Structure 1
Amino acid sequence: MARAVRHEAGSGTPPAGSGLRWRLGWTRFWWMVGFGLLGVQLVRIQVLQAPALQAYALGIHYQLRTLPAERGKILDRFGQPLAMDVPGYDVIATPHVLAADHPRRAARALARVLPFPAARIAAVIDRRNSWYALLARDVSPATARKVAALNLPGVSLEAVSGRDYPDGSLAAQVLGFVGSGDRGLAGVEAAYNRWLAGTPGRERVAVDAYGQTLPQWSRLLQAPRPGDSVELTIDPAIQAVAQHWLDWGVKRVHANGGTVIILNPHTGAVLALANAPTFNPNRFWTAKPQDLVDQAVQDPVPPGSIFKPVTVSAALNLGLVTPDTLFDTRGYKIVDGVRIDDWKPGGWGWITLTRGLAYSSDQVFMDLALKLGVAHFYRYVRRFGFFHPSGVGLPGDSNGVWLPASQVNAVDLATMGFGQGMAVTPMQVVAAVATVVNHGVMMQPRIVRAIIGPGNRVVRRYGPRVESRPVAAGVAAEVEGMMVKEATYGTGVPADLPGYIIGGKTGTAQQIVHGRTSNHVFVSSYLGFGPYPHPRFLMLVMINHPRGALFYGDQVAAPVWQKIGMFLMHYWHIAPYAGPHNGGG
């Protein structure tokens, strides 16, 4: 007999349909959670991250490139380039593309036109996961055309500008050089970088999957602005001759180096500034550190007797002496119990101040310095442009090295009177002594004439500028005449230019080595002007640490001065026995 089975509520066994509904409910719940999370993710990607992702996507197909500005030229005083940009190209590879298309064959083809062996090129382009490699930097347009003719997929050319110094080492320390990022690192390139550099431009370029540029999709955003040119006061012919004879003079006495400065004393214009050793700025990275130093402005040294015109000018201007004042020279002087020897044992006996300068008597100038006293001596030193950089317009322009006035004793003052016990730059001495030739008016030395913009527009002009008036014109004329006598019958005779009247002063200074004055390391100099009575130039020849039997200024520097000086007379067509019509400015 069939029995009816009744399920009572609360018995714990669900009906068959309810389990299915339960599972469907959980399924719907998780579907809703999943779709909710997906929606959140879509909102995050399509709304919140959209700008960043869009920029990333554009970056895959578009690149923002900097367009280098053409750097301004550095010109000589005649407007001819001493430094300029020349067109060049970087050779770029996409190794990911080349690796899929016989990289060894591409390397052999590139090696035929690039100055690198095939194995070296292959090592660069056989990087399958790389999208960029620089194969060659700043190749010439001719080489670039050969690379383009290979028609290699994955190899492209990018236009760049390279710096060229057409005259090689001519005025190398003056010009300086340019490093990465088109930034001047030395010389005029550094000092006037903000004018020379120009303003880079920008462009957005499209690239294909191989990294090749698609010109039809490129867009110029900002055109580059070329830099301004800098016109110097340098005369290239005079500069070349100065470098030639300086190099000769340095080798002749086996010296460490030297410098030559040729200045127009009436305008302050530097006509030549040469240093030895030197370097080629086209390959500046091969130079030794000492080759890069501009000794004329960066390297203070004891000036020795070429400083004596400053001391005598101060004493004459204060009325303490006259050119005919007598001095009893004995070859030494006792100062506060310290014996200071003159360069000539025994001295010359009683001599005038004029002969004291001509014979370069250290004792006479000890007496003058002590007559002046520290306060007057330092006041005139400052008037003559010491204690601060020369302001010629080159980087590293030094103040020189001087004791504070409060620490100067009688011995210090006596030795300073003849150019020892301090250190100054050659440019400071040249600018100071040029005052004597320029009627007591000190001109600011300068090596830049003008900044020239596009279309030869003068952006800024650097004309002659009076720095100070240290002494009266009459005093300057007296010192100038005394220097003529020094060159006529004194220590400067070896610098004589036959047929011309010149004035000058020799110098032989003891260098400071390890904090002490050396008796074996010298700075040998000759500082002179010509032709008298209307000098057209003032020239300093300074040679550092000559080795051997020759070390006095008249033996070492004067012969170099003579050779350059004679060239100048011929170059400017100055007739022998210069008269009033032979001057110039």
Structure 2
Amino acid sequence: MTNSRAKPSHTKGKRSSPSSRLKGKKRTSSQPPAKKPPSKKPAKGKNQPPKLPKGRLFIVWGLLIAGMLGLGWRLYQLQIVEAAQLQKKARQQQTVSLRPYIPRRSVIDGQGNVLATDRIVYSLYAHPKLFSISREEVAEKLAPILEIQSQELIKQFNQRETGIKVTTGLTEAIAQQIQTLRLDGVELIEHYARFYPQEKIGADVIGYVDREHKGQAGLELGQKRLLERNLLNLYIRRSGNGAIMPAFLPDTSLGFDDLKLQLTIDLRLHRAARSALQQQLKKYNAKRGAVIVMDATDGSLLTLVCEPTFDPNEYYKSKVELFKNWSVSDLYEPGSTFKPINIAIALDAGVIKPNSHIYDSGAAVVDGWNIYNASKQGYGSISIAEVLQTSSNVAMIEIMKRLSTKDYYRRLLQLGLNEKAGIDLPGEATGSLKSEAVFTSKSIEAAVTSFGQGFSMTPIKLVQLHGALANGGRLVTPHVVKGLVDGSGHLHWKPDYPERKIFSQKSSYEVVKMMETVVSEGTGEPAQIPYYRIGGKTGTAQKAGPRGGYIPNAKITSFVAIFPVDSPRYVVLAVVDEPKGANTYGSTVAAPIAKSVMEALISIKGIPPSKGGKPITPKKKALD
């Protein structure tokens, strides 16, 4: 095959043979040249992906597989291993914890009179920059309603331009008066506050709550578990944007109920006791006083009054020391009011009998100490009842000497002199009794204890011990809480109070009969009530100092009564601390208080005259 092409033949009518046409692939001039088909084998190095080395390929695949495995492992950790923890975090982020305010339970006395309750009050705020009238005009309008001087209000308004808290604790009636003024820039904020409608009456028992609604004294502190209802946190679900999800709202009544805390206190008797106590405190310019009335059958307290006291609605205006009930929290030496307890100990021990006689010389020397009767005289041979009538210290020493100091100390421990009475009020003090080693080492310890000195207790503890004499020997627990009642007065819960036997029934009965002669023939004569049989014991004790010894010219006068003797039930104790002036004894200062309280109790409870009761028989008595 040559590269030159044959020239076309121009001879007319002459054809070339097929063989000649095929040979050399010659074409006629009228036909275009045939195109060569494209080569199936591409040119080397063009349009071909580069080949990777096998090592790199394995590395890429390895990285992909490792990534997938790592992702799978992390998913396993999130979904399986850490699932519980993550779900907890998610719930915490989606859940809102709320503690809605639920009013405290009301406190009522034994007759249903309200002593403490929650009520809606208002706080008044001022925003002077929003006043549409002058500050002086706003002050003039508010002053008579708030009972605040207008100049004082103007002074407050000038402090700043907004957010001035003018006053708080406004009643709904006052708030309505302010609203009718339609003053711009004056705002009333509603909230709950504790309210004590009886004011000072019962404050020494109830206590108070502070501005944060927390109990700080009395029952408000000691019984907060009963007063705060069921304070549970509520948990509400919310969506991603923070909106509350209605489907997840709690199906609950928020623990609200209509139960009230009912006390054993009788408000009528409480008022009478307070009035009688105040009268004697004023008469003798005394430091303070207390009156306690207990039902000895079960230990329920009908009244527990301390003076001076405070108004729980305005507790911040009172001294801190007034917030405690000193008849529960303070110790004192009971003096002669403890003598009936010692007589019961001696009777139970068998060292004396009800008809025994003791010789009283008027003076005794014990371990070098001279001891005398309060009257500075001796009474000769006297009966056990006359020992109490005359309140003989010397005779009491002779009686208790018949009991070994070790046995005497053991009996004092059985009475719980080194223990609390167990009252359901906070801050009760524990009695102070010397150690057995000290008590038994010197005769003087037992001697002074025989007439109620050398140890100390709370007034409520003394009432508890005399309650055991009244009820046949049972040491009941003094208490003020009766239980939780509903609006219809039905009792839903009541506490259980322990009791134990400390005296025989016979000895208790004999001592109460002896105490009756103290009122009818002895130092307790000022407590007589015509035709009622009353047992009692006066007491005038030196006042112990805070660092030992006794405070010069300071005394505590007291009188304890059990009545009616024919059916002993009530124990009444009146204590007056540091009366001043002449003739200040238990018989002159405290006994008249107890008499007034018993007269009120007779009227309130409808106690009939005693069988065998006699009219008053005044006689000249020894002082104590």
Matches within 5 A, 1:8-157: 68-94=101-127, 98=130, 106-107=138-139, 109-111=141-143, 113-125=145-157, 132-157=163-188
Counterpart for residue 467 of structure 1? 499
Whole-angstrom distance in 2 between the partners of 1:363 and 1:298? 31
* One-letter amino acid of the counterpart of residue 367, structure 2: D
The answer to whether 1:259 aligns with 2:290 is yes
- Equivalent of 1:296 in 292, 307, 327: 327
What is the rounded CA distance, in whole Å, between the counterparts of 1:195 and 1:396 in structure 2? 18
Residue 510 of structure 2 corresponds to 478
AA matched with 2:477: Q
**Secondary structure of the equivalent of 2:358?**
strand
How far residue 231 of structure 1 moved from its aligned partner, in angstroms, is: 0.8
Aligned equivalents of 1:577, 1:339: Cα separation in 2: 43
Say which SS state the counterpart of residue 212 (structure 2) adopts.
helix
Find the counterpart in structure 1 of residue 592 from structure 2: 559
Cα deviation per residue 1:82-118 (whole Å; 9 max; x = unaligned)? 11222211223456x5279866655555446434445
Query: 1:176 touches 1:187 (CA, 8 Å); kept in 2?
Result: yes
After superposition, give the CA deviation of every residue in 1:520-569 in whole Å (9 maximum; x if it has no partner): 21111111111221023110111111111122211211122222222322
Aligned to 1:277: 308
- Please identify which structure carries the higher strand content: 1
In structure 2, what is the Cα distance between the partners aligned to 1:201 and 1:138?
Answer: 27
Quote the residue 1:419 is aligned against. Answer: 452
- 2:582 match: secondary structure: coil
Partner of 1:21: none
1:246 aligns with 2:295: no
Which protein is bigger by CA-based radius of gyration? 2
SS of the aligned residue for 2:473 comes to coil
> What is the rounded CA distance, in whole Å, between the counterparts of 1:458 and 1:257 in structure 2?
36
Q: Which amino acid aligns with 2:192?
A: S
Q: Deviations over 1:457-482 (max 9, x none)?
A: 7453035x452101111111111121
Relative distance call for 1:576 and 1:157 in structure 2 (3 A) is same
User: Is residue 306 of structure 1 aligned with residue 341 of structure 2?
Assistant: no
In structure 2, C-alpha distance between the alignment counterparts of 1:557 and 1:283, rounded to whole Å: 30
1:382 aligns with 2:422: no
| Match in the other structure for 2:392 | 361
| C-alpha distance 165-441 of structure 1, shift in aligned 2 (>3 A) | same
| CA deviation string 1:9-49 (max 9, x = no partner) | xxxxxxxxxxxxxxxxxxxxxxxxxxxxxxxxxxxxxxxxx
* SS of equivalent to 1:88: strand
Residues of 1 paired with 2:600 and 2:183: CA distance? 57
CA contact (8 A) 2:512 2:565 kept: no
Match of 1:188 among 212, 216, 219: 219
Offset of residue 123 of structure 1 = 4.8
Structure 2 distance, partners of 1:440, 1:248, is 34
Amino acid at match of 2:120: P
Q: Which residue identity lines up with residue 226 of structure 2 in the other structure? A: W
State whether residues 201 and 225 of structure 1, in contact with CA within 8 Å, keep that contact through their aligned partners in structure 2.
Answer: no
Please give the alpha-carbon distance, in whole angstroms, between the structure 1 residues aligned to 2:184 and 2:282.
55
Q: Is the 8 A contact 2:289 2:575 kept in 1?
A: yes
Residue matched to 2:519: 487
The CA distance in 2 between the partners of 1:160 and 1:570, in whole Å, is 42
Provide structure 2 residue ranges, at least 5 long, that are not aligned to the other structure: 1-96, 237-248, 614-624
Number of residue equivalences: 501
CA distance in 2, matches of 1:379, 1:446: 27
Deviation at 1:181, TM superposition (A): 0.5
1:296 Cα deviation after fit: 1.4
Q: Quote the Cα distance in structure 2 between the aligned partners of 1:320 and 1:414.
A: 16
Query: Aligned-residue CA RMSD in angstroms?
Result: 3.1
Distance 1:387 1:153 in 2: 65
Match of 2:536 in 1: 504
Q: Partner letter of residue 498 of structure 1?
A: P
Tell me, yes or no, if the aligned pair for 2:531 and 2:612 is still in contact at 8 Å: no
Decide whether the 8 Å contact of 2:218 with 2:324 is kept in 1.
no
State how far apart, in whole Å, the 1-side matches of 2:137 and 2:561 are. 67
**Which residue identity is paired with 1:491?**
T
Provide the rounded CA distance (Å) in 2 between the counterparts of 1:148 and 1:203: 37
Question: In 2, distance between residues paired with 1:378 and 1:481?
Answer: 26
Cα gap change, 1:155 to 1:471, in 2 (>3 Å): same
**Which residue in 1 is equivalent to 2:583?**
550
Q: Is the 8 A contact 1:296 1:426 kept in 2?
A: yes
Which amino acid is 1:91 matched to? L
Which residues of structure 1 form unaligned runs of 5+?
Answer: 1-63, 205-219, 581-585
Contact 2:131 2:183 (C-alpha < 8 Å) held by counterparts: no
Report the more deviating stretch, 222-231 or 446-455: 222-231
Contact 1:68/1:200, CA 8 A, preserved across alignment: no
* Cα deviation digits, residues 265-310 of structure 1 (max 9, x gap): 1111101111122222222222234443412111211100111111
The aligned amino acid for 2:518 is E
Q: Assess if the C-alpha contact under 8 Å between 1:238 and 1:271 holds in 2.
A: yes
- CA shift in 2, pair 1:109/1:241, >3 Å: closer
Moved more, 451-460 or 183-192: 451-460
Question: Are the counterparts in 2 of residues 383 and 469 from structure 1 also a CA contact under 8 Å?
Answer: no
Q: Secondary structure at the match of 1:372?
A: coil
Question: Are residues 77 and 127 of structure 1, via their aligned partners in 2, closer, same or farther at CA, if it must alter by over 3 Å?
Answer: same
| Larger CA deviation: 382-391 vs 492-501 | 382-391
**3-state SS of paired residue (2:193):** strand
2:425 maps to 1:394: yes
Q: CA deviation at 1:499?
A: 1.1
Cα distance in 1 for residues equivalent to 2:577 and 2:544:
12
The verdict on how the C-alpha distance between 1:490 and 1:164 changes in structure 2, with shifts beyond 3 A counting, is same
Q: Which residue of 1 aligns with 2:197?
A: 166
Q: Which moves more between the two structures, 175-184 or 113-122?
A: 113-122
1:438 to 443, 463, 471: 471
Task: Tell me the distance in 2 between the aligned counterparts of 1:196 and 1:282.
Answer: 18
CA distance change for structure 1 residues 195 and 455 in 2, over 3 Å: closer, same or farther?
farther
2:368 to 328, 337, 349: 337
Task: Report the more deviating stretch, 368-377 or 465-474.
Answer: 368-377
Q: Distance in 1 between matches of 2:286 and 2:381?
A: 36
Task: Answer whether contact 1:99 1:128 (CA < 8 A) is retained.
Answer: no
Q: Shift of the alpha carbon at 1:260?
A: 0.8
Tell me if the contact between 1:261 and 1:270 (Cα under 8 Å) persists in the aligned partners: yes
Q: Is the 8 A contact 1:99 1:127 kept in 2?
A: no
In structure 2, how many angstroms separate the alpha carbons of the residues matched to 1:480 and 1:224?
A: 53
Could you report, residue by residue, the CA deviation over 1:158-181 in whole angstroms, capped at 9, with x for unpaired residues?
211232222222122111112121
Identity of aligned residues (%): 28
- 1:454–1:350 CA distance, 2 compared to 1 (3 A): closer
